[in-house]
Chain A
Amino acid sequence: MDIKLQQVSYAYSKGTPFEKYALHDVELSIASGTYEAIIGHTGSGKSTILQHFNGLLKPSSGTVHIGDRVVEAGKKAKELKPIRQKVGIVFQFPEHQLFEETVLKDIMFGPMNFGVSEKDAEKRARELITLVGLPDNILEKSPFDLSGGQMRRVAIAGVLAMEPEVIVLDEPTAGLDPRGQKEIMDLFYTLHKEKGLTTILVTHSMEDAARYADRIAIMHEGKCVLTGEPRALFADSATLAKYRLEPPRVVRFQHKVEQMIGKKLSKVCLIEEELAEELGQAIREGRAEQ
């Protein structure tokens, strides 16, 4: 499902003395099947833009296309329900949204609200609990007896139970320990690949953007100022600095090494494994020349 924002502006408390624009003329296209990372400094408009992806916010001006549906400023949005089923948002700390008596009921709540039968919703819940890496006996427990990491997984299963085509992630690993972070990010990446989802990751981790995204959009002061592929975008530290961002740590480290050895490696490396390989290669070639 393609998502397209055309000249989208959004003002909070519009028409009051507190009116404040959070988005200005944002242009952004996300093609179906893309893993897109949206990065930007705190207050750049990342969270505001995210709420436009399933019609939680309606633009103050401009148009949002979500698949074949259109949400347009000034017009009453009709039929937002199908959009909300197809675009699943995993908010920051999604475990705060858990409310049911049991994990099973909580996961089933979303799909049943959209008319899925009890039997099918239960079937989905049973499949998903394994997929998010939890034992199935957890389904009968209260979500509030689980650890933070387990609650997060249950909440994610609840979003996945809607069988969305687009999944929007707002800092999905905040507060998790390093292993939990990696497991959750790998889970979304596997889902992205296996189910052919469109994945939109809103993050301030340049490392995650570099590791997982096909494309990156940079937000700055309410505008979408730059889009491109991670390798090209992270190669240009000067431009990133203008938007108060830094390349991922591995890229900064590569710059330091290049400065020390007085030559450039053949490419900008986005993950540690890639840089190790590239450096190993350069060192072997250096030895052969001697």
Chain B
Amino acid sequence: MSEILSFNHITFSYTPENAEARKAVQDVSFSVNQGEWIAIVGHNGSGKSTMAKLMCGLLFPEQGEVRIKRDVLTEENLWEIRSQIGMVFQNPDNQFVGATVQDDVAFSLENNGVPYEEMVIRVKEALEQVKMEGFINHEPHHLSGGQKQRVAIAGALAMYPQILILDEATSMLDPQGREEVLKTVQALREKIGLTVLSITHDLEEALLADRVIFMNDGKKYAEGTPAEIFALGDQLVDFGLDLPFATKMTKLLQAQGVQLVGQHMTEEELVNDLWTSNFNK
């Protein structure tokens, strides 16, 4: 597997003139391989969104370097590198520019001077990938939250990005909308091998990742598979996060004297354990 993105000892401060002030991101290193799904979790103010901005050159680090496919991100190659990264933000209403769904998806293509004929093909293709092809002439503002975010993803996909960054992209959606978006992202990953970085404090979303980076106060506190991260248990709660539903339920049941073998991350595991340890005797 080849590396597609890396942070090498990145430090960033919003107030560099004040040496005393806490750094938004402090000495953070990690690397992401092509096709991986990485979740970055952490409390509000832990540095997650700053990291997203550093990845696409909206901010530049004070120390350290960001590499995209081995190239160090600089002011010079910024535009070329940005074209490989798609980003979807938290509030779907804040990122629409087009009057119709297809105009919106075409916006970045137009900006990049893609010829009309090719644009038509790419817009159609991108909307098909997020299953919104039936809405090309709809007004974005009249869509549901989940649909809006899928259109936003299509807008990013039309640029053929290698990396998709989701910055709290599901946090304002209702449960169905969230599921729609996550299913779409999962499918895209399998189909086109997209690398996904999701910044989230939804622990259920983090469970879908291959690896989780756990941020606390601007520093990388831990990194590992979802199972390794959720094994940290109460430390997650102490740092402002929560446990996945099944893990929390397991602990509550054990406190009630119910026999269970180990920690569980999914409901299926927990239901099966409940059955074999307590009922099927």
Contacts and interface: CB of A to CB of B under 8 A. Distances in A.
B90 interface: yes
Given A249-B245, A276-B255, A280-B258, A175 B168 contact: yes
A272 interface: yes
Contact of A42 (B145, B237, B248): B145
Interface residues on A, range: 35 or more
B149 to A, nearest CB: 12
Nearest to A175: B171
A110 interface: no
A288 interface: no
B54 interface: no
A232 interface: no
A261 B44 contact: no
Interface string A143-184: 000011100000000000000000000000011111110000
A149 B46 CA distance: 12
A279 B256 CA distance: 9
Nearest to B242: A178
A41 interface: yes
A86 interface: no
B30 to A, nearest CB: 21
A283 interface: yes
A148 B44 contact: yes
Contacts of A250: 245, 249
Contacts of A279: 253, 256, 258, 274
List the 3 closest pairs (A to B, CB-CB), nearest first.
A280-B256, A276-B252, A178-B242
Given A178-B201, A253-B245, A276-B249, 20 more contacts: A42-B145, A177-B42, A177-B43, A179-B242, A180-B240, A253-B267, A256-B267, A260-B271, A261-B279, A273-B252, A275-B249, A275-B252, A276-B255, A276-B256, A277-B256, A279-B256, A279-B274, A280-B253, A283-B258, A284-B257
24 contacts: A42-B145, A149-B44, A174-B171, A175-B168, A176-B44, A177-B43, A177-B44, A177-B241, A179-B241, A180-B44, A180-B240, A244-B176, A250-B245, A250-B249, A253-B249, A260-B271, A260-B275, A272-B252, A273-B252, A276-B249, A276-B252, A280-B253, A280-B257, A280-B258
